[in-house]
Amino acid sequence: MKVLIIGAAGMIGRKLTSALVAAGRIGAQEISALSLADVIAPQAPETDIPTQLHAVDLSAPETAAKLIADRPDLIFHLAAIVSGEAEADFEKGYRINLDGTQHLLEAIRLESANQPYKPRLVFTSSIAVFGEPLPRDIPDEFPLTPLTSYGTQKAIGELLLADYSRRGFVDGIAIRLPTIVVRPGKPNKAASGFFSGILREPLAGQEAVLPVDPSVRHWFASPRAAVGFLLHAANLDTSGLGQRRSLTMPGLAATVADEIDALRRAAGEKAVALIRHQPDPTIAAIVAGWPQGFVAKRAESLGFRADANFDAIVRAHIEDELGGRIG
């Protein structure tokens, strides 16, 4: 099996690469070749699997055709700019998040014109495809109602994936990821970045800013769970999806106060004292339109699994990113 990861230099892309290299296979199929692509060159993994690295811009019309020239059997499309940046730069958001996706689908369709080619395409969507007015816990049948440019771009990507799958060009599955915490590394431009920051920075002994009220409730999953979702989607029998190719992933509904309580249990009051509440009306307005929770029965019935509780999410970050040590 040939595997292509687009967006391989990002946090989820790096962790997915590591998981694939460690396993060496997808289900019963061995990975025979690995291609890693991003706008900056991904880091080469330590593996005997033949690996190609590509520093490319998927929004450039010719890029997608080059990436699929050797006909990868499995494609993970993770590449995107995040919510805050897509809202601040309208043109860039649509160029990267929408044009790049459409170029990829078209390249696959045209590649199949000469001889049969139908790869599995796993597309990372987002719970940002939903927006107010919303029920407290959103069922699988709820319509897409995005209230941000990022959410709109992801919703259009889902529709394109469904249509290209219906027409037989790809075997697609879109997974709507919860907000991923705790994200390692430096803060990014995502409006949701503070959800990770109020845990990541205090656990490293640094101050964090909280721009919203602690009562804000949201839908979360850990990086470990996100990689698990992607691997499960790659090996899933998609015949059970029918024409509904998009799935809301299971997650954990929790408030910011719940996050802080988990931090307190893991690292004590000293860590909690590093959180500084500094209201930001812009961030608060964006977050106010986001989902608070889901009833993800379809995904759960298909075998997708989430984190048990927020303590487990914090523990995973300490183990995976801090070497088991706090401070």
Residues acting as catalytic residues: 150
- Distance between CA 198 and CA 318 in Å, rounded? 14
Torsion of CA 193, 199, 201, 202, to 10 degrees: 150
Cβ contacts of 176 within 8 Å, gap of 6 or more: 125, 126, 127, 129, 154, 246, 247, 248, 249
Estimate the crossing angle of helix 256-267 against helix 310-321, to 10 degrees. 50
DSSP 294: B
φ, ψ for residue 61 (rounded to 5)? -55, -30
Buried b (16+ CB within 10 A) or exposed e, 52-66: ebbebebbeeebbee
Q: Tell me the CA end-to-end span of the chain in Å, nearest whole number.
A: 42
- Distance between CA 122 and CA 76 in Å, rounded? 5
- Distance between CA 308 and CA 200 in Å, rounded? 19
Element (H, E) at 91: helix 90-93
Across the strands, what pairs with 26?
29
How many other CB atoms are found less than 10 A from the CB of residue 185? Answer: 11
Strands 217-221 and 179-180, by their bridges, are parallel
Please report the DSSP string for 131-194 in residue order: -SS--SSB-TTPPP---SHHHHHHHHHHHHHHHHHHTTS-EEEEEEEPEE-SPPSS--S-TTHH
